[in-house]
Amino acid sequence: MGEEANCNVAVAVVDPRLQGISDAIRVVPHFPKQGIMFNDITPLLLRPGVFKDAVDIFVERYRGMGIDAVAGIEARGFIFGPAIALAIGAKFIPLRKPKKLPGEVISETYVLEYGTDCLQMHVGAIEAGERVLIVDDLVATGGTLSAAIRLLERAGADVVECACLIGLPKFKECACLHSLLFASERWKDIDKSAVHY
Ligand SMILES: O=P(O)(O)OC[C@H]1O[C@H](OP(=O)(O)OP(=O)(O)O)[C@H](O)[C@@H]1O
Ligand SMILES: Nc1ncnc2[nH]cnc12
């Protein structure tokens, strides 16, 4: 709780929009199972001004950085990723859960807070050397982001950054990461070291 409060203070100092974003995220205890504090972004989506603030912050950061593609992680990365991609003039690549993509895919499995899963990407979605931003709503253990990075790098992409709205306090470096809300090239390195990538 103390850590969360500190994160919010840091966020508010950096950009006045961040407090509204933080306030619009609901924490639901024991969902989807006992012991998980579920960070629910759906209340934020019901407030168009706050939703726009969240997208705008990412767009302001990534516009002009030569990003060729935004890769969104199913499912909640599909909420923010396409809006960011359109605004910065990049293509959007869905990283999907198994058996959803009809074409030839490459796959990466990973461990979650509450289970295991797998991400897949269409072969040919990215070309070697293209600059990619990975987008999701939240990083907890970093397992999902790490799988996404591995998937894209296997295809020869240059992963520029990973951008998420929420970094859980349990994710060790979260307090300082929050000061950038939620978008930092440092996540890529932390993510890698967290899972021995
Ligand atoms: O940092 P990690 O420990 O890997 O967890 C983060 C991931 O967990 C959530 O997705 P989830 O797997 O619940 O799938 P969903 O978006 O389909 O609900 C969240 O949207 C991230 O993708
Ligand atoms: N605590 C959490 N809240 C929402 N999504 C999550 N994904 C993994 N952990 C989560």
Is the CB of residue 114 below 6 angstroms from any atom belonging to ligand 1? no
Pocket test for ligand 2, best of 36, 114, 165, 171 (most atoms within 8 A of CB): 36
CA gap 35, 153 in Å, rounded: 34
Confidence at residue 49, expressed as pLDDT on a 0 to 100 scale: 97
What long-range pairs does 98-106 form, CB within 8 A, spacing at least 24?
Answer: 100/74, 106/151, 106/154, 106/155
- pLDDT tens digits, one per residue of 38-79: 889 999 999 999 999 999 988 998 999 999 999 999 999 999
The tokens for 60 are: 């302001």
**Closest by alpha carbon to 189, among 168, 162, 167?**
162
- pLDDT tens digits, one per residue of 125-179: 999 999 999 999 988 777 888 899 889 999 999 988 888 888 775 554 433 333 3
* Amino acid making up residue 104: E
Is the CB of residue 169 below 6 angstroms from any atom belonging to ligand 2? no
The tokens for 14 are: 């950096």
Give the ipTM.
0.98
The tokens for 189 are: 């390195």
Give the pTM.
0.85
Distances (CA, A) of 83 to 55, 71, 118: 7, 12, 24
Domain with 111 in it: 2-194
Number of structural domains (the chain) is 1
The tokens for 67 are: 């990003």
Order of strands across the sheet with 131-139? 91-95, 69-73, 131-139, 158-167, 183-184
Whichever domain contains 86, its CATH number is 3.40.50.2020
Question: If DSSP codes are grouped into helix, strand and coil, which group holds residue 166?
Answer: strand
76 Cα–ligand 1 center, Å:
8
